[in-house]
Structure 1
Amino acid sequence: MKEKHAVPEQPPALRRSLKLWQVIVLGLGYLTPLTVFDTYGIVTQETDGHVPTAYLLALAAMLFTASSYGKMVRAFPVAGSAYSYTRQTINPYLGFLVGWVSLLDYVFLPIVNVLLGKIYLSAAFPAVPDWILGLAIAAVSTAVNLRSINATANFNTFLVAFQVAVVTIFTGLAISRISGGAGGSDPFAFTPFYDANMTFPTLMAGAAILCFSFLGFDAVTTYTEETIQPMKNIPRGIFLVALLGGVIFITASYFTQLAFPNIKQFANPDSPSPEMSLLLGGALFQSIFLAGSVTAALASGIASHTSASRLLFAMGRENVLPRSIFGYIHPRLGIPVVNVLLIGVCSLSALFLDLETVLAFINFGALTAFTAVNVSVIAYYFIRKRQRSLPDVFRYLLSPLIGASFVAFLWFNLDSHSLTLGIIWALLGIGYLLVATRGFREKPPVIEFEEAI
């Protein structure tokens, strides 16, 4: 009799079907175009009326890190993002810790979007209890993510398109206000970008705040295993999400700055957008603007829900988290359905947490991922692969170092609350790793990236 050889078990795989435009839509949904108005009041005061210039600096900083993400995608086209890159290029223990801390960004962003959506809906429906509104937002996000990745991307397309329409209308009304002389300037004045009173320290302080508006381009990498031609489309998607987001932010803030050069006229200068929308388009446009804000929270919640479930899947497939739970793929839908449900349950913590705490976790997780990816480029290409020609020195050493330098500046500006909570979470991860690896005597399992292509 011939001996039968066992067929090696294939790792669970996500279904590859996303096109480039769908990747961009998911990234923009995560990025949230309307967030330009959430930070506008604070940054206007911080920069003395030069928000567009602060956005230019933030965009330049983020594009260097976006470039590093693109380089790593070409080398390791898997769903784990910074977690997978660090494991493969530096050290599996460090990779686990990066993944553990990155969970703060990926898991807490769905929570913050439930919180924001609840706040916006409460303004429209004050008689409805907060917990019902929060539950409704979490339920919708989970239900959308329980469909195929294509269906999720297509649904988010409508939400992103509505946001862009609201930003466009707002900008058009601002131009009309400027043309009518209400802003005291002309529609093409250069003062929002530069004047004699502008100082570099205040611009950098504003840019440090605005860099967090770009959270989302990195999440594109979590769709790698579900994207057609990922080594071409994911790097393009990363760059285009950051660039398109930057163009929207700079354009909207420029005309808003000209239309409202003095925000001290508003009752709430830190958050003047509801009052500005009322002045620009009356009660009708204010209602549309509020609907856009709710839509923004939902779109970002859906996209971040998707990304978080894929990061958990990558960690589950490698058995860093229990594979039977986190590494499961639904045979018909081709999605990590258990992870989707778990993120949905986690997002309900928005009913008990406050916005400051959730944002603190997100900021720490995002900066950890940004730092790890820039360092991974140097470790893989410049050190391991020894790609050290003159062009390679810029691509694989100087460019990620510039990106890491900007991220270091953001670390310096991170508030103590974020640092404290982030360090506590990191210490919990180290404790879990000690137990899981028997005091570092066993290495965390590593999946070869070719298996996931």
Structure 2
Amino acid sequence: MHDNDIQRKKLSLWQVLIIGIAYMTPMTVFDTFGIVSGITHGRVPLAYLLALVAMLLTAFSYARFSRHSAKPGSAYTYTTDSCGANAGFMVGWCALLDYILLPLINALLISIYLEALFPSIPYWAWVMIATSVVTLINCFRIHILANISLIFVLAPTLLMMVFVYLVIKGIGTSQGYEHVLTMTPLINGDHSIAPLVAGASILCFSYLGFDAVTTMSHETKDPQKTIPRAVILTTLIGGCIFFTASWFIQLYFPNNLRFNNPSEALPEIVLYVGGVFFQSVFLCGQIMNTFASGLATHASASRLIHIMGRDNIFPKAIFGQTSRRFGTPIYSVLVIGLISCLAIFLSLDTVVSLISFGALIAFTAVNFSVFMFFYIKQKQRHGIKNIFLNLIVPWLSVLTIVCLWFNLDAAALQFGFIWLTFGLALFIYKKLTKQNITINEAC
């Protein structure tokens, strides 16, 4: 391990957790509520529970591998360790798609919100401002980013608590359910399974974030102990936030009849619950929440590019280096910033429809890697415990991911295969030019 690596190990468990939770964007529950409520027939909290169970299985696979290996890189590294450098390259390339699109989406969202608040400033200017600020903060030491993210996560969380209070206060006077202590948001008489699974499939992507913390291993104290805990805790805390918020929203809005536009229900939800002033404050909190997510997604994407740069997938002299002063992968951070500037030319609907392909590839690969590494390679297959941990859990996780594949947007699938084709072309080029992928063993 290089001295610079030692100096960079600054993140504690709570700081890694903050980055993971910020990545999730907890207030997204308000954005997706109208859509999922319509799909599930008013059973959003139950859909979140199903999604939590599904994601916990995959989170367990990430935690299991991160406990074994202190190397960062998430699905890319874990697949490389279990299935070889070639498989790792393809998984890393596919995972990179979502990693670089998410900062772009956050830049889009921040700019849309800010343009709505300050219409005199053009949209393209907000994109440049938001991207520049996020990129600049990511250039500094990672613990600075974690501390800033804490502020931008706590403020929206407090607003969500105020929202819950207002819902409790308004129950009985609204058109929602009459009592807080009711199981109706979970069991409302509709027993259909397919709509519930479809809703849960959408909500699973709300949990993206637990996987991103595994890219922070090099900058975390005692990573083989801290990262596995962070993976599981990020998933559980995110799940608790999503479930609680959706429960109280569902109490107030049993169905979508009161929404003019269910696909953009957030402004109407907070307006009905708290009035015009609370709506304005809440939307400011949403901007903060999105900004926190922008910081976290930018950090994770730049780390993955850096890790792949160290392994000579990308030019090592550029992307494999870190700043001597800040210990951060400056060039990777700047590249993600430049990509995020494409938000000027793209629409939100277009970009959102393209995500998820990389995440599903990564989830599938990590679950398979647990099976390959522990059950096949290390032959940990004797006894009920080993069979359960190394065979049943990973394959059960794969089955849940299959459900997500069936619900994947067609545009995401098409764009994903195009991206995969570019990856294959790069892979073939490296083979023909004898540019070997050199896996960095430093931890």
Q: TM-score, normalised by structure 2?
A: 0.97
State the AA in 2 paired with 1:286: Q
Code of the aligned partner of 1:384: K
Aligned equivalent of 2:57, options 41, 60, 64: 64
Work out which of the residue numbers 240, 246, 256 in structure 2 matches 1:247.
240
For 2:316 and 2:4, the matched residues in 1 are separated by: 10
Give the aligned partner of residue 428 of structure 2. Answer: 434
Please report how far the alpha carbon of residue 437 of structure 1 lies from its aligned counterpart in structure 2 after TM superposition: 1.4
Task: Work out the CA distance in 2 between the residues paired with 1:268 and 1:177.
Answer: 22
8 Å contact from structure 2 (residues 76, 91) kept in 1: yes
2:249 paired with 1:256: yes
Contact 2:312 2:436 (8 Å CA) reproduced: no
Name the counterpart of 1:409. Answer: 403
Distance verdict in 2 for CA 1:90–1:117, change over 3 Å:
same
User: Is the counterpart of residue 49 in structure 1 residue 49 in structure 2?
Assistant: no
Contact 1:102 1:366 in 2 (8 A): yes
- May I ask how many residue pairs the two structures share in their alignment? 441
Q: Which residue of 1 aligns with 2:414?
A: 420
Q: Which amino acid aligns with 1:221?
A: T
Equivalent in 382, 393, 397 of residue 391 of structure 2? 397
1:98-148 per-position Cα deviation (integer Å, ceiling 9, x unaligned): 111111111110000011111211221222211011111111111111111
Give the conservation status (yes or no) of the 8 Å contact 1:13–1:329. no
What's the CA shift for 1:263?
Answer: 2.2
Cα distance change, pair 12–18 in 1 and its aligned pair in 2 (3 A): closer
Q: Which moved more, 1:36-45 or 1:315-324?
A: 315-324
User: 312, 318, 328: which one pairs with 1:335?
Assistant: 328
Q: Deviations over 1:294-346 (max 9, x none)?
A: 11211111001100111011111111111110011111111111111111111
Partner amino acid, structure 1, of 2:223: P
In the alignment, structure 1 residue 92 sits paired with structure 2 residue 85: yes
- Seen in structure 2, the aligned counterparts of structure 1 residues 111 and 360 have a Cα distance that, compared at 3 Å, is same
How far 1:11 sits from its partner (Å)? 10
Say whether residues 1:308 and 2:295 are aligned partners: no
Q: 2:278 aligned with 1:285, yes or no?
A: yes
Distance in 1 of aligned mates of 2:260 and 2:298: 35
Aligned twin of 1:24: 17
Answering whether residue 144 of structure 2 is matched by residue 151 of structure 1, we say yes
Match of 2:97 among 104, 126, 136: 104
* Counterpart position of 2:268: 275
- Give, in whole Å, the separation in 2 of the partners of 1:320 and 1:64: 30
Q: Aligned pair in 2 of structure 1 residues 442, 129: CA closer, same or farther (>3 Å)?
A: closer
Partners of 1:96 and 1:338 in 2: how far apart? 20
Q: 1:351 to 1:181 in 2, by over 3 A?
A: closer
Superposed CA deviations along residues 27-64 of structure 1, whole A, max 9, x for unmatched, are 00001110101100000000000000000000000000
| 1:76 and 2:61 are equivalent in the alignment | no
Matches of 2:348 and 2:397 in 1, distance apart?
28
> Are the counterparts in 2 of residues 41 and 271 from structure 1 also a CA contact under 8 Å?
yes
Contact 2:61 2:367 in 1 (8 A): yes
Quick one: distance in 2 between partners of 1:93 and 1:20? 32
Q: How does 1:226-245 map to 2 (within 5 A)?
A: 226-245=219-238
Query: Structure 1: 5+ residue runs without aligned partners?
Result: 1-8
1:65–1:400: 8 Å Cα contact kept in structure 2?
Answer: yes
- Structure 2: segments with no counterpart, 5+ residues: none
Shift of residue 226, structure 1, vs aligned partner: 0.7
Name the Cα RMSD after superposition: 1.5
Contact 1:12-1:327 at 8 Å conserved across structures:
no
Moved more, 45-54 or 276-285: 276-285
Deviations 1:242-279 (A, max 9, x none): 10010011111111111112322222122222012112
Q: 1:347 to 1:11 in 2, by over 3 A?
A: farther
Following the alignment from structure 1 to structure 2, what is the Cα–Cα distance between the partners of residues 268 and 234? 40
Alpha-carbon distance in 2 for matches of 1:148, 1:405: 39
Distance 2:3 2:199 in 1: 45
